[in-house]
Structures are given as structure tokens and as C-alpha cells.
Amino acid sequence: MTGVGEILVVIPARGGSKRLPRKNVLPLAHKPMICWTIEEAIAAKLSGRIMVSSDDEEILTIARRYQADGVIAHRRPDIYATDEATTLDVLIDVLQVAKASGFQPKTLIILQPTSPLRRSDDILEALDKFRNGGCLHTVVSVCEVDHPTAWIGSVTSDSFFIGASSTSKRSQEYDTEYRLNGAVYILNTTLVLQERRLFTEKTLASKMPRSRSLDIDDWYDFKICEALLSSRSN
């Protein structure tokens, strides 16, 4: 069995956002949204380093506040700050930066800052899945879907609803289905550096409750998250 080895936690955070401008630094329950992810990464007490990769100086300034906790603020090259840049591009860049500093991690953990409700326990549970799978298979965090996918269809130009199941089954009669929630991804660095991909043929799932699976994409998501965090503190 291959060991986890040294870990590099990567928090990719661009400054731009089309649907919710500046969302990574918007005040969410009294602190910038990205802080929720940084602080849970620190709380997980992993063996390795935490790197915030960004093209934005405000985000990097926030990350530097956590320097004493081992957080590295990395300004990504302009070529990786565009809409065309992929997650794979960003990971290759941070791994090259890590290697240049003498740090060569075996395991990558990707934490999107748009999942501020994710907790350190969720990170550790996903890492256990990765370890128990021999550190060979990519692990993704998932949650139950809101509604059965059999109910999903499309609407034609003449307003007909097509593609959805027409059965009269109740929602509880369907098998439980899961979706990616974007909160945690764990993979072996070899997959990125040698095979130039993120997902193995067999991918392991780490289940999270829907209550912590909110992905902030727009203002509506943001306000829901704000309410959930307020109720948590109360």
C-alpha cells in the first residue's frame, strides 16, 4: 500500500467572478469567504503545506495573515489567471513551485473556497477514504441530490417538457443518488505530473451532508450560506 506521504493542500482562488463579483473576499459572517476554507484546512492539522494560489493581491494579502500557521500565498502566473486556465494547469504550477522550494508532496488536496461550510472533519474523512484505497484512487466529496435525476428533463422551443421519467413513483421510492459537491478533492501527485489528469478510472466518494455542501455561485447561494452560518453560531 502506498502511503499518503507529504500533503499539499491547494486553495485555488481567482479574483474575478462573473455571477458574484469578488465573491472569494466578500464578508461572509464577519470574515472574507476564503477565510472559512483556509481556517478549516489549518484545523485539519495535516502533515504538509497549505498554498493559496491566486492572481489577486487582496486574496494573497488575506492568505498572508495565516503565514504563521504555515499558509503560503502564491501569485499564479498571468497565463493561469484566465477563464481558459484549467484546474490541472493550476495544480501543475503549484507543484512546480513546491518542488523549487524543496518540497515534493505525494498527495494533493484541493479545497475550493466556494465551499465555506466544509469542515476539517470532512477533509479528514476524505483523506481516510484516500488512505484506505491505497492512495491510488482520486477521492471526491459528494452529497445526496435534492431530487431524483429521473425528474430532470429539458424544455423544447415549443414549451414541451421532455426527457424526464413519466412514472408516478414517489421521491422516496428512487434509489439514493449522489452528486459532486466541489468541497474536497484528493489525488496522488503522480496523476497530475505524469498522466496530466485529475481523476482515476475508479473514483472514491466521501459523503458529506447536504447542509455542508453548498457551493457559492451567486448572490442567492451567498445569502443562504450566510443564514446557515448565523444559525450555526447561535
Q: Where are the domains of the chain?
A: 7-140+181-233
User: 3-state class of 8 per DSSP?
Assistant: strand
pLDDT in tens, 1-36: 468 999 999 999 999 888 899 999 999 999 999 999
Q: Taking the model in full, what pTM does it have?
A: 0.93
**CATH superfamily of the 7-140+181-233 domain:** Spore Coat Polysaccharide Biosynthesis Protein SpsA; Chain A (3.90.550.10)
Q: Quick check: 132 and 195 in contact, CB under 8 A?
A: no
pLDDT in tens, 50-106: 999 999 999 999 999 999 999 999 999 999 988 888 999 999 999 999 999 999 999
Confidence of residue 43 (pLDDT cuts 50, 70, 90): very high
C-alpha–C-alpha distance, residues 190 and 31, integer Å: 36
pLDDT of residue 209: 98
Residue 155 carries which DSSP code?
E
Listed residue (169, 214, 199, 182) closest to 12, CA to CA: 182
